[in-house]
């Protein structure tokens, strides 16, 4: 059994608006395993992004624990939480957040330069390696506005993994991409996972979910189902799609 890398215990998140409480996450217990490609699925509004943000320290839960590396990160102060997000966690979103007046290469380098544990030369070598792996050599010295959406997202993934994060969190990373770019980004995520990168991804797209070896299904902020899969290989694409479609059907998807 793989090691647990992240745990949620009795996790609750509520939002209040005009005196009305919206209980989005309800007493959730969840273990995420090291090296897994875990996907969270569920209907719109079921709490997928809220769960991802609560687990990754992007937002604070209302109550409950989130344990990473043996520590309850919900007890961290803002400074420690910010450090965790830069050095230990990587993030990729549907909307690509790159600094507009920095080149793709510079965007990738910034969190690497912030990391006091790595030397400048080491960071620059790793950035070059990632630029090659992401196949964005010709885009690397251009500004985000001068590259395609797919190139920008691959740059954002390189930036997210420059500090070799314990977990890469991805919220609908292919949601704004066309079919070709979606495949490229998913291939990269799969490659990173095969190399050992733990990934936790929210998606409603079965083509993205087939890359996972574990899918968690949530409804009204509760886990109601889980599907375990073997490591993704291209030859299994069709059969995995059918398997996940059938499973999602059983979840009333």
- Which residues bind to ligand ATP, rule: CB under 6 A? 15, 22, 24, 42, 44-50, 204
Q: Identify which of residues 26 and 135 has a Cβ nearer to ligand ATP in the complex.
A: 26
Say if CB 52 and CB 169 are below 8 A apart.
Answer: yes
Element (DSSP H or E) covering residue 191: helix 179-194
Q: How far apart (Å, rounded) are the C-alpha atoms in residues 53 and 238?
A: 31
Cα–Cα distances in angstroms (integers) from residue 12 to residues 20, 22, 23, 99, 135, in the given order: 16, 11, 7, 33, 41
Q: Identify which of residues 46 and 181 has a Cβ nearer to ligand ATP in the complex.
A: 46
The single-letter DSSP state of residue 54 is H
Q: How far apart (Å, rounded) are the C-alpha atoms in residues 51 and 13?
A: 8
Q: How far apart (Å, rounded) are the C-alpha atoms in residues 76 and 60?
A: 10
Least distance (Å) between residue 140 CB and ligand ATP: 31
Least distance (Å) between residue 96 CB and ligand ATP: 17
Q: Identify which of residues 20 and 145 has a Cβ nearer to ligand ATP in the complex.
A: 20
Please report where in the chains the tokens 């109550």 appear, as a residue: 63
Q: Identify which of residues 45 and 242 has a Cβ nearer to ligand ATP in the complex.
A: 45
Please report where in the chains the tokens 């273990």 appear, as a residue: 31
Q: How far apart (Å, rounded) are the C-alpha atoms in residues 60 and 50?
A: 10
Least distance (Å) between residue 10 CB and ligand ATP: 18
If DSSP codes are grouped into helix, strand and coil, which group holds residue 22? strand
Q: Identify which of residues 87 and 169 has a Cβ nearer to ligand ATP in the complex.
A: 169
Q: Identify which of residues 50 and 123 has a Cβ nearer to ligand ATP in the complex.
A: 50
Least distance (Å) between residue 250 CB and ligand ATP: 19
Least distance (Å) between residue 229 CB and ligand ATP: 21
Q: Identify which of residues 187 and 220 has a Cβ nearer to ligand ATP in the complex.
A: 220
Least distance (Å) between residue 107 CB and ligand ATP: 25
Nearest by Cα to 157 from 185, 132, 137: 185
Least distance (Å) between residue 219 CB and ligand ATP: 10
Helices and strands in the chain, H and E counts:
8, 10
């Amino acid at each position: 059994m793989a090691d647990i890398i992240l745990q949620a215990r009795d996790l609750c998140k509520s939002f209040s608006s005009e005196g009305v409480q919206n209980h989005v996450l309800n007493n959730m217990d969840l273990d995420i395993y090291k090296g897994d490609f875990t996907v969270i699925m569920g209907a719109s509004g079921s709490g997928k992004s809220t769960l991802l943000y609560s687990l990754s320290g992007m937002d604070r839960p209302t109550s409950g624990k989130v344990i990473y590396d043996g520590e309850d990160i919900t007890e961290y102060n803002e400074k420690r939480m910010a450090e965790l997000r830069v050095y230990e966690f990587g993030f990729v979103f549907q909307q690509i957040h790159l600094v507009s007046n920095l080149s793709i290469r510079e965007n990738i380098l910034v969190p690497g330069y912030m990391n006091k544990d790595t030397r400048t030369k080491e960071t620059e070598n790793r950035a070059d390696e990632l630029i090659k792996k992401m196949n964005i050599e010709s885009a690397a010295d251009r500004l985000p506005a001068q590259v395609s959406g797919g190139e920008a997202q691959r740059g954002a993934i390189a930036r997210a993994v420059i500090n070799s994060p314990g977990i890469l969190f991805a919220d609908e990373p292919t949601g704004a991409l066309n079919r070709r770019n979606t495949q490229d980004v998913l291939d990269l995520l799969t490659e990173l996972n095969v190399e050992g990168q733990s990934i936790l991804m929210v998606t409603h797209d079965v083509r993205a979910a087939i890359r996972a070896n574990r899918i968690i299904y949530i409804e009204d902020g509760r886990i109601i189902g889980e599907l375990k899969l073997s490591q993704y290989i291209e030859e299994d694409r069709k059969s995995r799609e059918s398997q996940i479609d059938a499973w999602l059907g059983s979840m009333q998807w």
